[in-house]
Amino acid sequence: MTQDAAIGIHDLSFATTEFVLNHTTLAEHDGTDIGKYHRGIGQQSMSVPAADEDIVTMAVAAAAPITARHGTDQIRTVLFATETSIDQSKAAGIYVHSLLGLPSSARVVELKQACYGGTAALQLAIGLVRRDPTQRVLVIASDVSKYELDSPGEPTQGAAAVAMLVAADPALLRIEDPSGLYTADVMDFWRPNYRSTALVDGHESITAYLQALEGSWKDYTEQGGRPLGDFAAFCYHQPFTKMAYKAHCHLLNVCGQDTDPDEIARVLELTTAYNTVLGNSYTASMYIALASLLDHADDLTDRAVGFVSYGSGSVAEIFGGTVVPGYRKHLRTAGHREAIDRRRPLDIARYRELHERSFPTDGGVHPVPRQTGGPARLLALDHHKRLYESR
Ligand code: CAA
């Protein structure tokens, strides 16, 4: 394995929303046995954005601790991955750039390929840092997962943002070559421009994920990747946490290995602690699995971690990383716990009201009620322009 001249994740921070809907509340409302949510899909609760929160405000909350710790001088690129974009033209990262006071001598761009976009941003960031190791790239993955009310996808909703500083000589994780890649034209999950909620063929999407996993593992092996047994843990894209278990079981089968539940739990269970209470955060999900692993595991110094990134439609990528000595000093475990614990629970009526909220499209001035306690908020939609303010 090449360690890519030691380029990787120097800092990682995530943020989520003001509100939370517990699955017990949803189950009482829709008459579902709670076992289906807790054990069947592996979800306990979902983050729900306040009226004045979106992918920008969550991104600011995720990235602000990183710029506070490292400054902004070396950041010459911001890569913002999302599949729940707020504008068809302007990159959401430009609002973040402004709210965080990043230097004008920086480029900002938005990237999309469903939940795979965060990994595309990470790999592009590594290329930029390899070209000039004095530069750092701020990678942001931020999404609000939203399906129609009362649809099968509803219990897998969620929202969160991850911010990662990609740098030479990283403090957390060195990203390795090679990657295993796989692309296939499938319609498992998509969202036409005129819809606010995603469309999904749920069971087909699980099959598509598993096929993409198999294809990208085959390519990873052919490219000279590590053997399965090298990895101390696997961070999967987690649209719901049970999916990681299905996927790892499939990978063991593909590799002709026993699907021993204890072994599967050993490599996965610490990666799901955050996503089980946040829900699906699309582009951010796999990197929140990494945060969960690093925050909860005993010492992982010099251990290899496997990453399985999947974006419907579809693109998948498998790659490895090695945990850097001394990484524990740089973790943000307390901040992550606080982001989860500070969320305020919603009753079903408030949740459904927030879910159905949308802006009028008349070009008028539409102030947004103050709800979030986060560092940035959406103030208004004014003549079709989104106005933000920071605290
Ligand atoms: N106690 C325990 N388990 C129960 C239960 C009970 N009372 N009742 C049902 N279950 C189990 C079922 O046996 C099933 O488990 P298995 O999958 O292991 O068989 C599980 O709960 C789910 O039950 P169903 O399949 O009947 O549930 P469903 O038809 O409502 O659909 C879903 C589930 C397809 C995941 C649906 O929630 C959905 O469409 N989600 C959105 C799509 C998605 O997340 N796809 C994942 C791959 S695509 C991707 O990764 C990109 C992305 O981010 C979207």
Protein residue with least CA distance to atom 37, ligand 1: 153
Which atom of ligand 1 sits closest to the CA of residue 198? 54
Q: Which of 36, 113, 281 has most ligand 1 atoms within 8 Å of CB, for mutation? A: 36
pLDDT for 1: 53
Identify the residues whose C-beta falls under 6 Å from ligand 1: 33, 35-36, 39-41, 115, 152-153, 155-156, 188-189, 200, 202-203, 205-206, 209, 237, 239-240, 243, 280, 282, 310, 312
Q: What is the mean pLDDT of residues 210-215?
A: 98
Measure Cα distances from 32 to 120, 229, 251, 352 in Å: 37, 39, 31, 17
Which atom of ligand 1 sits closest to the CA of residue 312? 51
Report pLDDT digits (tens) over 48-59.
999 999 999 999
pLDDT for 374: 97
Report yes or no: 269 and 289 within 8 Å, Cβ to Cβ. no
| Mutual angle of helices 241-254 and 261-268, in 10-degree steps | 120
Which tokens hold the place of 285?
A: 């999900």
pLDDT for 391: 87
Given a cut of 60, is residue 323 above it in pLDDT?
A: yes
Catalytic residues, by residue number, are 83, 115, 237
Given a cut of 90, is residue 218 above it in pLDDT?
A: yes
Set out the domains of the chain in order of their start, with CATH numbers.
Answer: 7-390 (3.40.47.10)
Protein residue with least CA distance to atom 11, ligand 1: 40
How many whole angstroms separate alpha carbon 173 and alpha carbon 325?
9
Protein residue with least CA distance to atom 50, ligand 1: 239
Q: What is the mean pLDDT of residues 157-185?
A: 98
Q: What is the mean pLDDT of residues 305-329?
A: 98
Q: What is the mean pLDDT of residues 259-286?
A: 96
Given a cut of 90, is residue 5 above it in pLDDT?
A: no
Protein residue with least CA distance to atom 19, ligand 1: 40
Given a cut of 70, is residue 15 above it in pLDDT?
A: yes
Burial 91-102 (b: 16+ CB within 10 A, else e): bbbbbbbebbeb
Report pLDDT digits (tens) over 326-366.
999 999 999 999 999 999 999 999 999 999 999 999 999 99
Which tokens hold the place of 69?
A: 């710790």
Report pLDDT digits (tens) over 33-78.
999 999 999 999 999 999 999 999 999 999 999 999 999 999 999 9
Three-state DSSP at 234 gives strand
> Mean pLDDT across the chain, nearest whole number?
97
pLDDT for 4: 46
Given a cut of 90, is residue 144 above it in pLDDT?
A: yes
How many whole angstroms separate alpha carbon 16 and alpha carbon 278?
8
Closest alpha carbon to 140 in 177, 103, 183, 92: 92
Which atom of ligand 1 sits closest to the CA of residue 38? 2
Given a cut of 90, is residue 132 above it in pLDDT?
A: yes
Q: What is the mean pLDDT of residues 288-294?
A: 98
